[in-house]
């Protein structure tokens, strides 16, 4: 595989994912409305119940709205990762995934390109959300939006690989919605997206432990520190480690040899 062939394949995957995203306008609308509801409505209700000094791991006390923005960015990426993998289940039922996976290009390269195309779509959604939030006076330093970019790529790959892995385990399209809900809501609520882990520890040590074991917590913290122009080494290490492990598991799950005893590849 030469570099021009690789770039052409990446452009094709990105164009296909972007075209699908543009055609699904409701998906873009839902990706904006969902976090905005949490930010503007639920945030107002939670503000009085949260201890603001507990929101200051960066040396300064931040408002509750600024605290939950990284968690809502993670929500956008989490839903997008699941929806991108939903298209894999759909393509498998329609038979088009077989064409994709039987191309001469290496299968890990194709799957990575699929994930990166999904990450690009999620970035459009995230920055659109941040733009609307800034119009309501909820914003960060100008450099923070640039510092957020590498964190978005890392967390997007992690969540996209998770969705890809799940798509290989679900055989029918109608079953995937239930799996999505089983993954999305526990991952989101058992994290530091909406409230600090220290606040949950005060009410339940078990819940706090589950939050500490949840990789999504570290994805949110990586985004949160990036928006404050800092790097949390622990969050970076967890996101990188779990992301690579999940990506490797997704590659293995789409290995043709694994599907021989089940009657063919996932595209069948």
pLDDT of 267 reads 46
Residue 241 included in any domain:
yes
Q: What is the pLDDT along the chain (268 residues), one digit of tens a residue?
A: 666 766 777 777 777 777 776 666 666 677 777 888 888 777 666 655 555 555 555 445 467 778 889 999 999 999 888 877 777 766 666 655 666 666 677 778 888 888 888 898 889 899 999 999 898 888 888 999 999 999 999 999 999 999 888 877 776 666 666 777 788 888 998 898 888 887 777 778 888 899 999 999 999 999 999 998 889 999 999 999 999 999 999 888 877 655 443 444 444 4
Residue 264 included in any domain:
no
Chain mean position to CA 196 = 20
Residue 111 included in any domain:
yes
- Provide φ and ψ at 62, rounded to 5°: -110, 160
Report H helices in the chain. 3-23, 25-37, 43-47, 64-94, 96-101, 107-135, 142-169, 173-189, 197-201, 205-213, 215-227, 233-253, 256-259
Domain ranges, residue 83: 3-257
Residue 266 included in any domain:
no
Compute and round to an integer the Cα radius of gyration of the chain: 19
Q: pLDDT tens digits, residue range 38-87?
A: 887 776 666 555 555 555 554 454 677 788 899 999 999 998 888 777 77
Left if phi > 0, otherwise alpha if psi is -120 to 50, otherwise beta: which for 103? Answer: beta
Q: Minimal CA–CA distance to 219: which of 192, 183, 251?
A: 192
Residue 262 included in any domain:
no
Residue 263 included in any domain:
no
Residues 6+ apart with CB under 8 A from 180: 82, 86, 166
Report the domain count for the chain.
Answer: 1
Cβ density class 32-48: b for 16+ within 10 Å, e for less = eeebbebbeeebeebee
Residue 91 included in any domain:
yes
Residue 52 included in any domain:
yes
**Predicted TM-score of the model (pTM):** 0.83
């Amino acid at each position: 595989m030469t570099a021009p062939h690789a770039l052409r394949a990446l452009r094709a995957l990105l164009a296909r994912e972007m075209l699908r995203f543009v055609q699904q306008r409701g998906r873009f609308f839902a990706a904006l409305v969902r976090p905005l509801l949490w930010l503007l409505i639920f945030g107002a209700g939670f503000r009085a119940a949260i201890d603001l000094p507990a929101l200051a791991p960066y040396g300064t006390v931040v408002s509750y709205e600024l605290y939950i923005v990284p968690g809502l960015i993670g929500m956008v990426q989490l839903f997008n990762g699941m929806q991108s993998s939903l298209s894999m289940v759909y393509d498998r039922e329609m038979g088009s995934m077989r064409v994709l996976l039987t191309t001469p290009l290496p299968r890990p390269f194709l799957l990575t390109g699929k994930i990166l195309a999904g990450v690009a779509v999620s970035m459009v959604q995230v920055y659109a959300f941040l733009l609307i939030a800034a119009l309501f006076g909820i914003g960060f330093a100008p450099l923070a939006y640039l510092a957020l970019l590498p964190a978005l790529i890392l967390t997007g790959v992690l969540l996209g690989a998770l969705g890809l892995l799940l798509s290989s385990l679900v055989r029918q399209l109608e079953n995937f919605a239930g799996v999505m809900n089983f993954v999305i809501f526990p991952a989101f609520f058992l994290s530091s997206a909406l409230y600090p882990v220290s606040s949950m520890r005060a009410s339940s040590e078990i819940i706090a432990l589950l939050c500490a074991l949840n990789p999504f917590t570290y994805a949110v913290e990586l985004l949160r520190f990036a928006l404050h122009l800092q790097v949390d080494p622990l969050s970076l290490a967890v996101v990188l480690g779990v992301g690579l492990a999940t990506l490797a598991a997704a590659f293995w799950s789409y290995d043709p040899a694994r599907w021989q005893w089940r009657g063919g590849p996932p595209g069948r």
